[in-house]
Amino acid sequence: MTFPVVGMVGGGQLARMSHEAGIPLGIGFRLLSDTPQDSAALVVRDVVVGDYRDLDTLRAFARGCDVITFDHEHVPTDHLRALEADGVPVRPGPDALVHAQDKGVMRARLDSMGVPCPRHRIVRDPADVAAFAAEVARADGLSSGRDAGSPGGRDAGGPGAGSGFPVPVVLKTVRGGYDGKGVWVVRSAAEAADPFKAGVPVLAEEKVGFARELAACVVRSPHGQAVAYPVVESIQVGGVCDTVIAPAPGLPAHEAVQAQELALRIADELGVVGHLAVELFETPDGRVLVNELAMRPHNSGHWTQDGAVTSQFANHLRAVLDLPLGDPRPRARWTVMANVLGGDYPDMYSAYLHCMARDPQLKIHMYGKDVKPGRKVGHVNTYGDDLADVRERAAHAAGYLRGTIPE
């Protein structure tokens, strides 16, 4: 048998679902997991428990693999370069992945490509943040001395922010953030102090007055083949993805194509291999700005497991193996993904009875994680012709599993 072994670094749910997608391909799947109890480690045969921050551990892991890919972006870039120097195929490679690891590098690169982004600047301290806020306000024609208003749908500071910035500012540590962690919205110099405490460089961005969030997901192979999934709408609650609707309702076809082309162009110019999620802000006047990049399977693509001909996980594996990519087209008119977050009661299994009996078409995807309030422990997918019905079924199941909907 000449079937290759894919090594995935990180034992989270993305690795779990990648293994699931790899089983039909007949490939080997080797996991580097922090613990034997991580989500993926519970279901994968070939698990190495170790610390991805340790180069020797990575090297030993890589010796059993034909290609290395990732469940997360946290492997130090220099370690990846060392693996590449050892001759290990790393996909996506460090020169691409750094743009998903470091938001400062990402912004600089997108600027150089002329890709529309929120206004931004690396800042050194709260005074620097204040200066950035004043500059944004000035450019928008707001006097820098008064409270932030709400022009163009902008979410402004609350009342009594008289000593604050003229406009709110988003601060992000350039590395290590995810799901709202490492991200702050600040409205005064006092509020701006926290982000600097970790000693990580901080990126300031304007708080975009967006109409909604979109995601354009594409997959690219080493030999340059690429496929684009339908552009989706992503609805966040508390900085965490709550619902994804595929395709994004009411998105004009030319805007959808523009977003797909943008994502394909980023994948190509950055040399991405595998799945790339481009998180976008759609502004009220119909422009899109790039919010974040993720170079791995992504929450905004979970709908593809049940809603597309080829899932993001299967296509990510095919890409890192340089196999021809699968058809990314949808199988249903509408597919909705709703994340299942941990709630107050830990027994989600007993909730299956209600959810499965109520909706025999419901697709449940649980991650094997212990329930903690607010933690992503699974998701559900629903699909059909009637968007309102499809959304209700997903929201009901996710809410019932979490425990926020009693019946």
Q: Which residues are annotated as a binding site?
A: 103, 172, 205-208, 213, 291-292
User: Rounded to the nearest whole angstrom, what is the least distance from the CB of residue 307 to a second copy in the complex?
Assistant: 11
Residue 18 found at the interface with a second copy (CB under 8 A): no
First to last CA, the chain: 51
Q: Which is nearer to a second copy, 370 or 389 (CB)?
A: 370
- Binding-site member from 172, 365, 396, 402 for a second copy (CB under 8 A): 365
Cross-sheet strand order for the sheet of 120-123: 120-123, 202-206, 169-173, 183-186
- Binding-site member from 6, 8, 15, 16 for a second copy (CB under 8 A): 16
Residue 42 found at the interface with a second copy (CB under 8 A): yes
- Binding-site member from 159, 199, 344, 353 for a second copy (CB under 8 A): 353
8 A C-beta contact, residue 10 and residue 72: yes
Q: Which two tokens stand for residue 373?
A: 């309030």
Q: What's the angle, vertex CA 166, arms to CA 164 and CA 167, rounded to 5?
A: 105
Q: Which of 362, 391, 399, 376 has its CA nearest to residue 16?
A: 376
Q: Which is nearer to a second copy, 146 or 331 (CB)?
A: 331
Residue 370 found at the interface with a second copy (CB under 8 A): yes
Only segment of 18-26, 49-57, 243-251, 290-298 that touches a second copy (CB under 8 A): 18-26
Residue 345 found at the interface with a second copy (CB under 8 A): no
Residue 105 found at the interface with a second copy (CB under 8 A): no
- Size of the residue set binding a second copy (CB under 8 A): 51
For residue 240, how many C-alpha atoms fall within 13 Å in the half-sphere facing its CB? 14
Q: Which two tokens stand for residue 161?
A: 């922010």
Only segment of 235-243, 250-258, 293-301, 351-359 that touches a second copy (CB under 8 A): 351-359
Residue 344 found at the interface with a second copy (CB under 8 A): no
Of residues 272-331, which lie at the interface with a second copy (CB under 8 A)? 305, 309-310, 318, 323-327, 331
Residue 194 found at the interface with a second copy (CB under 8 A): no
User: Rounded to the nearest whole angstrom, what is the least distance from the CB of residue 33 to a second copy in the complex?
Assistant: 11
Q: What's the angle, vertex CA 9, arms to CA 8 and CA 10, rounded to 5?
A: 110
User: Rounded to the nearest whole angstrom, what is the least distance from the CB of residue 363 to a second copy in the complex?
Assistant: 7
User: Rounded to the nearest whole angstrom, what is the least distance from the CB of residue 335 to a second copy in the complex?
Assistant: 12
Which residues lie below 8 Å from residue 278, measured CB to CB, with a gap of 6+? 215, 216, 217, 218, 259, 262, 263, 266, 290, 292, 293
Q: How far apart are CA 246 and CA 307, in angstroms?
A: 8
Q: Which is nearer to a second copy, 61 or 196 (CB)?
A: 61
Axis-axis angle for helices 94-101, 103-112 (nearest 10): 110
* Coil/strand/helix, residue 297: coil
Q: For residues 223, 227, 233 and 238, what is the CA-based torsion angle, rounded to 10 degrees?
A: -30
**Residues near a second copy, by CB under 8 A:** 1-4, 16-17, 19-20, 23-26, 28-29, 41-45, 47, 305, 309-310, 318, 323-327, 331, 346-350, 352-353, 356-357, 360-368, 370-371, 378
